[in-house]
Amino acid sequence: MTDCHSGPPAAGAAPSAATASQQQEGLVVLAGNPNVGKSAIFSGLSGTYAEVSNFPGTTVEAVTGRWNDRVLIDAPGTYGLGEHSEEERITTELIQRAATVVNVVDAAHLDRDLFLTLQLAESGVPMVVALNLVDEARRAGAEPNASELERALGVPVVPTVAVTGEGLEQLAEAIGRARAGNRSLNGSDDLARRRAADELYARIVPPTDRRRRVADWLSRASVTLHWGAPMIVLSLAAMYLLVGVGVAQHLVGFSEARLGHEIWEPFARNVAGAIGIGGPLREILVGEFGLLTMTVTYIVFLLAPLVAAFYFALALFEDSGFLPRIAALVDRLLSAVGLNGRAVIPIILGFGCVTMGTITTRLLATKREKTIATALLNFAIPCSAQLAVIAALLAGFGGGWVFGYAAIIFAMLIAAGTVLDRMLPGKSTPLLIELPPLRWPRPAAVLRKTVTKGYWFMREATPWFAAGALIVAVLQVTGGLEIWQRLLRPLMVNWLQLPAETARAIVMGLVRRDFGAAGLYEMGLTPAEALVALVVITLFVPCVASIMVMAKEHGARTAIRIWAGTWIVAFAVGGVLARILAWLGAAS
Amino acid sequence: MGIDRVPVGSSARIEAIDDATARRELTRLGFEEGADVEVVSRIPFGPIVLQRRHRQVAIGRELARRVRVTTP
């Protein structure tokens, strides 16, 4: 309450006299636990217009929209108010600024949600409760008594099913009747508030002994090693078939080669020719790395379908409640490299697109964990575009080479993680994660997530891809690319014992990881040479977009360190591997 | 004793959580000091999964040692 540094100017409106001076006229804030359908309520109220913004000095995002000429903000999901994490601080601050708070709760899991509800009802801010997912509670035979809750809190309570739109009209009407809750202050006594929440829960939710046999069994089995591990393997295999084979190979194969290279790019060149663009400008706009050719093909015909497919798969994992269970099962593995189970999320995403994974490291608790995860992603995790090329190239030589490649990269992942874990000061945080019940994902919710997350990602990443392509195009026009290639040649030939042309692949790899791998495709390498080259290319620098995102998220210094580190590691490992393979070859 | 030593399938009452951050988080999630919980799973060398009503949390093994419980 003492500072108002981040309060935006209240657009020409005087703050209402009755409340704190930092309050923002008409501001409606949606607050609730994570994954209760807040964002579905948000889009239901605000329609399509939404703007994502970062809070000053943080990586926490909130979505701002408009509802009936009032500003509507979707606050970050939290289990309570306070000062303990960035999300909590920001939500608390937003609540202090709000004219009205809409507390979205999960009607099927009200016992957890009531903690925050009570905190809000104690805070004195006018509020309404949206009893969301009420259809699910109904099906379980445990629909909360809304009018009893209304009496207990002294605020309007409206049952809703946000994804179908049920109850949204009533909710909109109830916002006009918002009132301050009548709960007495528990202050900072969490335990007293928790007990009050449990007591309230017992009063408003009928006890039910109806058991959902399959769901209950699954909830328990999925967190045991003997059932959970096969489930993970199966679901990841299904995800690979969908994203890796279906989209990355077939769909992108069609969209990139046909729509991109054969239809769009010639069209762009013809247009450029017709309006008389020539010389270096032509090269920069529509040349090999052109802004209108390569960048457009890459972003529209390759990245967009891939990112959409990944977010779709991730939304299925998330909305089914399976993702946190995977986090629990792999916690032990990840703690070996200084991370905890939560880091599985950026890592899975990283296999789709390292840039996407890097952005998602935000959800890790400490800077130390964010740094480790970012470094691992950018060192040793090949993105799907690269994986596809690598798999195609190595599969031709037989399964042994594929296995050898995977083993080397996996060993590097462990080694890099272990070194970072030792090097970085501090300790990693232990895992503490809620495991939501397993349920069928709702198609509408999955679709909305896919579209909004995909859109945000593309919006964030596109300028960086364009900037990277621009740099390379300029290098090519000015002859800088040639010089690079010549400088690298001794390293490639003498140290890695590869043909001289592979230097070109490495230079291409500076821009985009799979370019490097693709460049090797037509060189007629021996299996041993291909293995060395691919290991080097995988460990080698992340693509330009990833570096830009790293610099934005973790500062330029970390980004440069990781970038430089990949040079050393990639060439050191490649050189040693070349010698081991030569020795093995001579021995046999 | 720590909840890491409670056999899978049996219940225990949380007496004390010797970690301020975890105590706050668990209280918010409904696994507060005084609550009766069931141990649903012990992932080998990994986290312990606790259940209360229909809700579950997973806590890392190290942390589980600091969640002290009594068994009936």
| Domain ranges, ordered by start, for chain B | 3-70
Q: Tell me if B46 and A84 make a contact (CB, 8 A cut-off).
A: no
CATH superfamily of A28-204: P-loop containing nucleotide triphosphate hydrolases (3.40.50.300)
Helix (H), strand (E) at residue A104: strand A100-106
Residues of A in contact with B60 (CB under 8 A): 331, 335, 340-341, 430-432
Query: Among residues A254, A355, A234, which one has the least CA distance to residue A302?
Result: A254
Q: Which residue of A has its CA nearest to B20?
A: A84
Q: Tell me if A324 and B44 make a contact (CB, 8 A cut-off).
A: no
Shortest alpha-carbon distance between residue A176 and chain B (Å): 30
Nearest to A431 among B30, B51, B58 (CB): B58
Q: What is the pLDDT of residue A12?
A: 32
Shortest alpha-carbon distance between residue B1 and chain A (Å): 19
Query: Among residues A96, A102, A35, which one has the least CA distance to residue A72?
Result: A102
Q: What is the pLDDT of residue A1?
A: 35
Residue type, A249: Q
Q: What is the pLDDT of residue A289?
A: 76
Helix (H), strand (E) at residue A308: helix A304-319
Q: What is the ipTM of this complex?
A: 0.96
Nearest to A331 among B30, B34, B46 (CB): B46
Q: What is the pLDDT of residue A9?
A: 35
| Distance (Å) of CA A381 to CA A123, A148, A334, A364, A408 | 46, 53, 14, 18, 12
Q: Tell me if B53 and A191 make a contact (CB, 8 A cut-off).
A: no
Q: What is the pLDDT of residue A325?
A: 92
d(CA A513, CA A78): 37
Shortest alpha-carbon distance between residue B43 and chain A (Å): 6
Q: What is the DSSP letter of A361?
A: G
| Centroid of chain to Cα A441 | 18
- 3-state helix/strand/coil string of A135-175: HHHHHCCCCCCHHHHHHHHCCCEEECECCCCECHHHHHHHH
Q: Tell me if B55 and A112 make a contact (CB, 8 A cut-off).
A: yes
Mutation test of the interface with chain A: which of B41, B62, B67, choosing the one with the most A Cβ atoms within 10 A?
B41
Q: What is the pLDDT of residue A514?
A: 67
Residues of A in contact with B22 (CB under 8 A): 430, 432
Residue-wise DSSP of A482-506:
HHHHHHHHHIIIIIS---TTHHHHH
Q: Tell me if B57 and A225 make a contact (CB, 8 A cut-off).
A: no
Residue A247, number of CB atoms within 10 A of its CB: 23
Nearest to B32 among A191, A340, A432 (CB): A191
Number of cross-chain residue pairs from A and B with Cβ atoms under 8 Å apart:
114
Give pLDDT tens digits for A319-366: 888 889 999 999 998 998 989 998 998 888 887 778 878 888 888 888
Tokens for A80, please give them.
Answer: 């309570």
Q: CA torsion angle for A220, A225, A226, A227 (degrees, to 10)?
A: 40
Residue A549, number of CB atoms within 10 A of its CB: 25
Mutation test of the interface with chain A: which of B18, B21, B39, B56, choosing the one with the most A Cβ atoms within 10 A?
B56
CATH of domain B3-70: 2.30.30.90
Q: What is the pLDDT of residue A54?
A: 52
Cβ atoms B19, B63 nearer than 8 A? yes
Q: Which residue of A has its CA nearest to B62?
A: A430
List, edge to edge, every strand of the sheet that includes A432-435: A432-435, B55-59, B48-52, B36-42, B11-17, B67-70
Give pLDDT tens digits for B11-38: 999 999 999 989 999 999 999 999 999 9
Q: What is the pLDDT of residue A20?
A: 44
Query: Among residues A136, A173, A162, which one has the least CA distance to residue A40?
Result: A162
Residues of A in contact with B40 (CB under 8 A): 220, 223
Give pLDDT tens digits for A401-442: 888 998 999 899 899 899 999 998 888 889 999 998 888 888
Q: What is the pLDDT of residue B62?
A: 92
Mutation test of the interface with chain B: which of A78, A194, A217, choosing the one with the most B Cβ atoms within 10 A?
A194
Shortest alpha-carbon distance between residue B65 and chain A (Å): 11
Q: Tell me if A111 and B30 make a contact (CB, 8 A cut-off).
A: yes
Q: Tell me if A194 and B40 make a contact (CB, 8 A cut-off).
A: no
Nearest to B28 among A115, A224, A225 (CB): A115
Tokens for A165, please give them.
Answer: 């739109």
What are φ and ψ of residue A26, in 5° steps? 75, 0
Q: Tell me if B27 and A191 make a contact (CB, 8 A cut-off).
A: yes
Pairing between β-strand A70-74 and β-strand A28-32 as defined by DSSP bridges: parallel
For each successive 10 residues of chain A (588 residues), what is the average pLDDT? 36 36 82 88 78 55 83 91 85 93 94 94 94 90 93 96 91 94 80 93 83 80 91 86 79 86 91 86 83 84 82 85 91 90 87 81 86 89 76 78 89 91 88 88 84 78 75 81 83 87 75 69 82 89 80 85 89 93 80
Burial of A465 (0-12, 13-18, 19+ CB in 10 A): buried
d(CA A51, CA A30): 15
B 5-64 → A contacts, CB under 8 A: 21-22, 24-30, 32-34, 40-41, 43-47, 49, 51, 53-63
Q: Tell me if B62 and A115 make a contact (CB, 8 A cut-off).
A: no
Mutation test of the interface with chain B: which of A325, A434, A439, choosing the one with the most B Cβ atoms within 10 A?
A434
Q: Tell me if B41 and A431 make a contact (CB, 8 A cut-off).
A: no
| Domain ranges, ordered by start, for chain A | 28-204, 225-433+444-473, 477-587
Residues of A in contact with B55 (CB under 8 A): 109, 111-112, 434-437
In terms of phi and psi (left: phi > 0; alpha: psi -120 to 50; beta: otherwise), the region of A178 is: beta
**In sequence order, which ranges of B5-60 are alpha helices (DSSP H)?**
20-29
Query: Among residues A57, A83, A67, A3, which one has the least CA distance to residue A29?
Result: A67
Residue-wise DSSP of A381-400:
---HHHHHHHHHHHHTT-HH
d(CA A202, CA A145): 11
- What 3-state DSSP class applies to A64? strand
Q: Tell me if A195 and B32 make a contact (CB, 8 A cut-off).
A: yes
- Residue where the block lists tokens 């528990």: A186
